[in-house]
Amino acid sequence: MILTPPQNLPQEVKIQLLLTGGHQYTIYLKSDAPLLQLLAKTLLSKHQKTENSTLFQIPLAEGHSALCFPSEHLVGMVTEPPIYLQHLQPQESKSNLQTYTPPTPKTDNLESRYLLIENFLTNSETQQLLNYIFQRKSDFVPTTTSTKAENYRRSLVLHSFPKFRELIVNRIQEIFPDVLTKLNIPEFSIAQIESQLTAHNDNNFYKIHNDNGSPETATRVLTYVYYFYREPKAFTGGNLIIYDSKIQDKYYVKAETFKTIEPTNNSIVFFLSRYMHEVLPVTCHSQAFSDSRFTINGWIRKDNS
């Protein structure tokens, strides 16, 4: 495959990625960048109806965040200036797509990893979930922390939502082997998948913590957060910050570097429960419950028996 700009010289290209569900993201690459070649090859493989799949992991904001999506969600690209695609030869079209892994700077930090999956539920399921929680507003209670620390976490939680808890847990179980593979985590048997439903409204937050730092939570291996909210989106903020780690006095502690995940409607993110992370404050001018940043979040526990 050959990608060439009009003058046939490498130059910076503005690329608008068009994904399923109407999502659009803009990145900037050199016209001869391997990632641009891989994106174009993915589009061509879809045209040729091949069944290869890969996970794109594109660094954003100088490596502080990353855009992750499976290749089958890529439906088009808009390039500025225009880039011209010459078709693959038949023998080349049979080659497998490879996951793009960006080079990482040399550091003593242990880089955190996460997996973000968009369009996790159907649109109908997401709307049913919203309708359900709007009817259960009075059942939400203030959240607490295991340490009972004051002013450390501010949000509302719904502990019982049987139908939708079962939906999320079953969907997670279906993709669990693939999640482990994508995150390079050794296979393990699940003892339990915990779930809670939270609502973050104006000036709600959760300060830096991890999810398995006590004897009661030590068997938690993976944390997941499923995002959903009413559209058009009526809040800002609420980004999830996942810190890289470093070893200090034989303990994992947070590094100064981090990844940023912006809440995207109907998406789910998985990461190791030992990672230090936080939820930045939410701004919701209406302060209406229905305009909140909602999540179903929880933990996958390992069976040590």
pLDDT in tens, 194-207: 999 999 999 999 99
Question: Does 301 score more than 50 pLDDT?
Answer: yes
Neighbouring C-alpha atoms within 13 Å toward the C-beta of 18: 7
DSSP label at residue 192? E
In terms of Cα–Cα distance, which of 88, 99, 96 is closest to 44? Answer: 88
Query: CA-CA distance, 98 to 258, in Å (whole number)?
Result: 26
User: Ranked by mean pLDDT, which of 7-11, 142-146, 241-245 comes out on top?
Assistant: 241-245
253's tokens: 């502690």
Q: Which residue has the higher pLDDT, 21 or 295?
A: 295
- At 12 the three-state DSSP class reads strand
Question: Does 274 score more than 60 pLDDT?
Answer: yes
Q: Which residue has the higher pLDDT, 155 or 146?
A: 155
For the chain, give the number of residues. Answer: 305
Question: Does 4 score more than 70 pLDDT?
Answer: no
Residue 231: which pLDDT band, with cuts at 50, 70 and 90?
A: very high
Query: CA-CA distance, 88 to 44, in Å (whole number)?
Result: 8
pTM over 0.75: no
Residue corresponding to tokens 């001869």? 32
Neighbouring C-alpha atoms within 13 Å toward the C-beta of 241: 19
Query: CA-CA distance, 191 to 241, in Å (whole number)?
Result: 27
Question: Does 210 score more than 90 pLDDT?
Answer: yes
Query: CA-CA distance, 230 to 28, in Å (whole number)?
Result: 31
Q: What is the pLDDT of residue 66?
A: 67
Question: Does 96 score more than 50 pLDDT?
Answer: no
Residues in a beta bridge with 27: 15
Residue 120: which pLDDT band, with cuts at 50, 70 and 90?
A: very high
Share of the chain above pLDDT 70, in %: 79
CB of 87 within 8 A of CB of 234? no
Query: CA-CA distance, 272 to 12, in Å (whole number)?
Result: 35
Q: Give me the torsion for CA of 19, 23, 24, 29, rounded to 10°.
A: -50
Q: What is the pLDDT of residue 38?
A: 80
Q: What is the pLDDT of residue 5?
A: 53
Instruction: Work out the average pLDDT over 25-30.
Output: 78
Mean pLDDT taken over the chain:
84
Q: Which residue has the higher pLDDT, 82 or 201?
A: 201
